Amino acid sequence: MTMSYGRTPSQTIGPFFHRALVRNGGNDLTARGAAGVQIVIEGRVIDGDGLPVADAMVEIWQANAAGRYDHPEDRQDKRLDPNFHGFGRTATDAEGYFRFRTVKPGPVRETGDFTQAPHINVSIFARGLLNRLVTRIYFPDEPLNATDPVLSAVPGPRRPTLIARRVGEELANRFSFDVILQGGAETVFLDL
């Protein structure tokens, strides 16, 4: 067993983070003209009583339209998009809503030739959460969902909590994704 330095524990973000962390435009990942299909994802953060969580922070991290992350550890032979960095951050409003404008991520190829279906990685921080919660947003009607390793690890009945719902007609490219923190319809959260 190798010795390791003691890691710093997590604490709650509390209710007072907005000025330090949330800036206008932080929820628009397309502002610089990213390549790909523009999409809007909106949803609510809901507590165990079905009430909106008005003081949560939601962060997303995703690959570009070609399925490549803007990061040196991603060595896939795919192009980077100089106008897309893949990170977004926003706070929920008084009704618990959050919204991101981004591009639809491409599939990400991993070791052993398996491929992850297009998805967006999500962190949720809030008063009452002593550590962040992590989940993923997948997309409906994606053939790769059937073989995605993360979706496959989730029991079938709970899998739909990870798949965004299309809102309106197909060309509108609007999706809805609610984060239900607690209860029967609870969102699947992931242990990293």
Partner 1 sequence: MITPAGYRRTEPGENPRLDWREYESTRKRVPIHAPIRLEHTLSEITGPRTWAVATPADADLTHFNGGEALGERIIVAGRVLDDNGRPLPDTLIEIWQANSAGRYAHEVDTHDAPLDPHYSGVGRVITDAHGAYRFTTIKPGAYPWRNHPNAWRPAHIHFSLFGPAFATRLVTQMYFAGDPLLLLDPIFNSIPDQSARNRLVAAFDLGTTMPGYALGYRFDFVLRGPEGTPAG
Contact region with partner 1 (CB under 8 A), list: 1-9, 30-38, 137-145, 170-178: 1-9
Q: Which of positions 168-187 make contact with partner 1 (CB under 8 A)?
A: 181-183, 186-187
End-to-end C-alpha distance for the chain, whole angstroms: 21
| Nearest distance, CB of residue 143 and partner 1, angstroms | 19
Residue 93 token pair: 């409003």
Candidate residues 64, 90, 92, 116; the one interacting with partner 1 per rule CB under 8 A: 116
Q: Which of 34, 66, 86, 163 binds partner 1 (CB under 8 A)?
A: 86
Residue closest to 46 by CA, chosen among 182, 188, 171, 149? 182
Which residue's entry shows tokens 């991290």?
A: 61
The answer to the question of residue 10 lying near partner 1 (CB under 8 A) is yes
Burial of 189 (0-12, 13-18, 19+ CB in 10 A): middle
Quick one: 94 or 171, whose CB is closer to partner 1? 94
